């Protein structure tokens, strides 16, 4: 394992300074709020539903919007694929989100939404999506380029929430995001590269995860989406297989799977459980009962508790710790966290078929 306190090692392993992008996330949130506030031409209409079109690091923006609007009357659904549901139409506000602007699944569903007369807000750095949005006179939100999509979560998700609040589809979310940015600044100070491993829980957890397959458990809502984000960041940054599941669903299936193969799983699997203060009381009880039943068949079990008072604060707190942990795990392994060569190769092969 490479030491995470050696500045020279970090620089050599991370030539694009991906860790620096993670450390600057609080500033990204603030900038994303201003981008959302600057949107002048909003779609008009009475919207009874919202749809978000996106894949990967762009698609999770829809899950964040779902959290922000969870207590409101508007139905929100995220589509991650080549098709949208029949109910998407003239009373649906559609957010088409693609960092590059060239995601083929998003372009396909964008065309479907336009054919049904839906109002569309496009969020992108450019590409074909920006061209189509301008051609069709859609609301176009341009965000800064030059990042990996997974490192642009603030730019990709926050403008959607601001626009939704401007349209009266939610309230109080922008204030929560302002508080979130302040909380993330304090967390960055706790988890940044300058904080030594002995005092840095993100570095500590990354070191414990090295050589293991991470499994991340969350609970329905806030921690469900956060657990999925952890899984994706561990895949793309650390280049390791990782998996996620959610309480209480996992109590009806996956919990049985840990009963066998202990000789393998105790050596190779690490479980991280994401917690927060708004868990349903029965979820809390389920976690208390479940962990003693399975921990003997796992290499280790760690729990991560969110800070914050609102859903958005706690969600981003869990996500941000996961971003640091996944990046540090990459660096501990001597792996550059920025490139995703397999995904780029896959896209090239698809383009040629």
Just list the catalytic residues.
236, 252, 347
> Of 227, 264, 224, which Cα lies nearest the Cα of 248?
224
How many CB atoms are located within 10 Å of the residue 135 CB?
8
Q: What is the DSSP string of 169-216?
A: S-SSHHHHHHHHHHHHHHHHHHHSTTS-GGG-HHHHHHHHHTTSEEEE
Both tokens of residue 214?
A: 């991470």
CA neighbours within 13 Å on the CB side: how many for 14?
25
Surface-to-core class of residue 351, CB atoms within 10 Å of its CB (0-12 exposed, 13-18 middle, 19+ buried): exposed
C-alpha 32/C-alpha 26 separation (Å) is: 10
- Pairing label, strands 119-124, 92-98: parallel
Question: Rounded to the nearest 5 degrees, what angle is found at the Cα of 140, between the Cα atoms of 164 and 98?
Answer: 85
All residues at 6 or more sequence positions from 252 whose CB lies less than 8 Å from its CB, including other chains: none
């Amino acid at each position: 394992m490479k030491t995470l306190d050696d500045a020279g090692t970090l620089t050599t392993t991370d030539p694009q300074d991906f860790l620096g992008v993670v450390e600057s996330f609080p500033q990204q949130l603030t900038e994303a709020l201003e981008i959302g506030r600057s949107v002048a031409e909003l779609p008009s209409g009475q919207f009874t539903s919202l749809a978000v079109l996106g894949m990967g690091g762009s698609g999770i923006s829809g899950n964040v919007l779902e959290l922000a609007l969870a207590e409101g009357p508007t139905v929100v659904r995220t589509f991650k694929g080549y098709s949208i549901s029949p109910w998407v139409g003239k009373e649906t506000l559609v957010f088409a989100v693609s960092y590059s602007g060239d995601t083929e699944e998003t372009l396909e569903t964008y065309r479907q939404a336009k054919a049904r007369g839906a109002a569309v807000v496009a969020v992108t750095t450019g590409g074909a999506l920006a061209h189509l949005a301008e051609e069709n006179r859609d609301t176009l939100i341009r965000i800064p380029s030059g990042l990996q999509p997974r490192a642009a979560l603030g730019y990709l998700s926050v403008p959607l929430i601001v626009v939704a609040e401007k349209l009266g589809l939610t309230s109080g979310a922008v204030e929560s995001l302002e508080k979130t940015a302040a909380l993330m600044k304090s967390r960055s100070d706790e988890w940044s590269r300058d904080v030594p491993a002995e005092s840095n829980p993100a570095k500590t957890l990354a070191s414990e995860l090295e050589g293991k397959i991470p499994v991340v458990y969350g609970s329905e809502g806030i921690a469900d989406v956060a657990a999925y984000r952890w899984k994706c960041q561990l895949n793309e940054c650390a280049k390791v297989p990782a998996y996620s599941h959610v309480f209480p669903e996992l109590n009806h299936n996956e919990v049985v799977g840990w009963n066998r193969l202990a000789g393998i799983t105790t050596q190779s699997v690490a479980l991280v459980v994401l917690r927060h203060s708004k868990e349903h009381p029965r979820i809390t009880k389920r976690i208390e009962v479940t962990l003693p039943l399975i921990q003997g068949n796992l290499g280790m079990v760690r729990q991560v508790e969110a800070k914050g008072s609102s859903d958005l604060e706690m969600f981003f707190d869990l996500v941000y710790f996961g971003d640091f942990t996944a990046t540090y795990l990459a660096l501990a392994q001597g792996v550059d966290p920025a490139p995703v060569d397999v995904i780029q190769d896959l896209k090239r092969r698809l383009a040629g078929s």
